[in-house]
């Protein structure tokens, strides 16, 4: 925790706190939820934004109990697999979330996954 008071880490942490507080949109990539100072701000994020929060998580785990936002226990996120996509899950209560657990290969780009899943989810065409 002492590193958080030393530059440049203090600036990084301050920016994280500001960004999480200011925007209801959050993307989490490969975070194992093991840093309590970051977890604090993720819990604050859910408190600040509530149902306006929109989270996209990209992780290697296909166990929904290990998804970052689920691990905070603030909501029962009721995960459901996305039809036709065995590597994507959506939540239907609390914070609307989309979790992508894989599927990014040389034939399926990250941009393609974002376009095909995330946009559809938040435009209302993906259930």
Residue 82 lies in a domain: yes
Residue pair 71/33 in contact (Cβ under 8 Å)? The answer is: yes
What pLDDT is attached to residue 93?
A: 66
Helix axes 9-22, 36-49, angle to 10 degrees: 20
Q: Which domain holds residue 33?
A: 2-122
Residue 46 lies in a domain: yes
What pLDDT digit, counting tens, does each position of 5-17 carry? 788 888 999 999 9
Token reading at 51: 């149902």
Residue 115 lies in a domain: yes
Our count of domains for the chain comes to: 1
Residue 17 lies in a domain: yes
State which residues of the chain have pLDDT below 70: 1-4, 73-76, 93-95, 98, 100, 102-127
Distances in Å between the Cα of 101 and the Cα atoms of 8, 28, 33, 60 are 32, 12, 16, 5
What pLDDT is attached to residue 95?
A: 65
Residue 127 lies in a domain: no
């Amino acid at each position: 925790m002492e590193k958080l008071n030393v530059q440049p880490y203090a600036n990084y942490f301050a920016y994280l706190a500001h960004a999480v507080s200011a925007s209801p949109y959050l993307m989490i990539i490969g975070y194992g939820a093991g840093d309590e100072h970051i977890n604090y701000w993720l819990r604050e994020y859910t408190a600040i934004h509530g149902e306006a929060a929109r989270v996209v998580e990209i992780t290697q785990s296909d166990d929904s109990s290990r998804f970052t936002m689920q691990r905070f226990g603030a909501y029962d996120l009721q995960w459901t697999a996305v039809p036709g996509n065995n590597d994507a899950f959506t939540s239907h209560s609390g914070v609307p979330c989309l979790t992508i657990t894989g599927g990014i290969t040389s034939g399926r780009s990250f941009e393609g996954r974002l376009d095909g899943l995330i946009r559809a989810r938040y435009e209302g065409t993906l259930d």
